[in-house]
């Protein structure tokens, strides 16, 4: 190798070393000179992270409220369905009983028009009437007491007034058609006359 080449090589290596030292000093001076900048950058990053955390917490709170509202609505819906189901079960025979009431009325009319209580036909109709009422009572049918009771528009339907001193005013004088309750509902009001 030529001595001039060696000298040139040494010059370039010294130059590269100086450039590397200068770059290292510049980087070190920037690191030393920018703690305020680094602090500002860290504060900015921290602020952004805090904002992101706050947004996430608000979203989580909203999701929780939506969940609780939906859960409460579902529970209310289930209770309402259960109540309706119980109502259907309890009052499911209402239409059937309404259709049967005229048959009971006919049996009562037959008992009223039969000549004597000792007659076997009268006894047979009376027995069938009692059996029929007993069977229907098992399913929630009840007679509405009317004769001699104080008139109650919830249970009685007045079709006439009677002037008499035998009973107090406002009491039921005569029952023209028997009334019935189905559990706690009025299936049919008693048709009555009332003392004026």
Rounded distance between C-alpha atoms, residue 87 and residue 94, angstroms: 11
Instruction: Tell me the CA end-to-end span of the chain in Å, nearest whole number.
Output: 146
Residue ranges making up the domain that contains 113: 92-195
The verdict on 105 and 83 lying in the same domain is: no
State mean pLDDT over 40-46: 88
Predicted confidence (pLDDT) per residue in 136-164, tens digit: 999 899 999 999 999 999 999 999 999 98
Average pLDDT over the chain, rounded to an integer: 87
- What pLDDT is stored for residue 195 in this prediction? 93
Predicted confidence (pLDDT) per residue in 45-104, tens digit: 899 999 999 999 999 999 999 999 999 999 999 999 999 999 888 888 898 899 999 999
With 90 as the cut, is the pLDDT of residue 186 above it?
Answer: yes
Would you say how long the chain is, in residues?
Answer: 196
The verdict on 110 and 191 lying in the same domain is: yes
Instruction: Confirm whether pTM is higher than 0.75.
Output: no
Q: Does residue 32 lie within any of the structural domains?
A: no
Higher pLDDT, 28 or 20: 20
- The DSSP H or E segment spanning 174 is strand 172-177
The verdict on 62 and 115 lying in the same domain is: no
With 60 as the cut, is the pLDDT of residue 33 above it?
Answer: no
- In the three-class reduction of DSSP (H, G, I as helix; E, B as strand; rest coil), residue 185 is classed as strand
Look at the chain and report how many structural domains it folds into: 2
The verdict on 188 and 105 lying in the same domain is: yes
- What pLDDT is stored for residue 159 in this prediction? 95
- What pLDDT is stored for residue 50 in this prediction? 93
The last residue of a domain, from among 90, 107, 130: 90
State mean pLDDT over 17-25: 76
From residue 87, how far is each of 99, 139, 171 by CA, in Å?
A: 20, 14, 33
- The DSSP H or E segment spanning 195 is strand 190-195
SS3 content of the chain, % helix, strand, coil (to 5): 65, 15, 20
């Amino acid at each position: 190798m030529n001595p001039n080449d060696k000298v040139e090589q040494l010059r370039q290596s010294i130059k590269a070393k100086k450039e590397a030292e200068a770059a290292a000093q510049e980087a070190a001076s920037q690191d030393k000179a920018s703690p305020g900048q680094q602090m500002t950058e860290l504060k900015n990053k921290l602020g952004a992270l805090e904002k992101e955390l706050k947004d996430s917490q608000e979203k989580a709170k909203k999701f929780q409220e939506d969940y609780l509202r939906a859960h409460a609505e579902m529970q209310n819906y289930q209770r309402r369905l259960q109540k309706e189901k119980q109502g259907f079960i309890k009052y499911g025979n209402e239409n059937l009983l309404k259709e049967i009431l005229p048959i009971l009325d006919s049996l009562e009319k037959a008992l009223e028009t039969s000549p004597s209580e000792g007659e076997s036909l009268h006894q047979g109709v009376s027995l069938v009437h009692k059996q029929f009422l007993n069977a229907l009572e098992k399913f929630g049918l009840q007679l509405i007491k009317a004769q001699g009771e104080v008139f109650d528009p919830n249970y009685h339907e007045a079709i006439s007034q009677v002037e008499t001193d035998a009973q107090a005013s406002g009491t039921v004088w005569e029952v023209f058609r028997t009334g019935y309750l189905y559990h706690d509902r009025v299936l049919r009001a008693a048709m009555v006359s009332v003392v004026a």
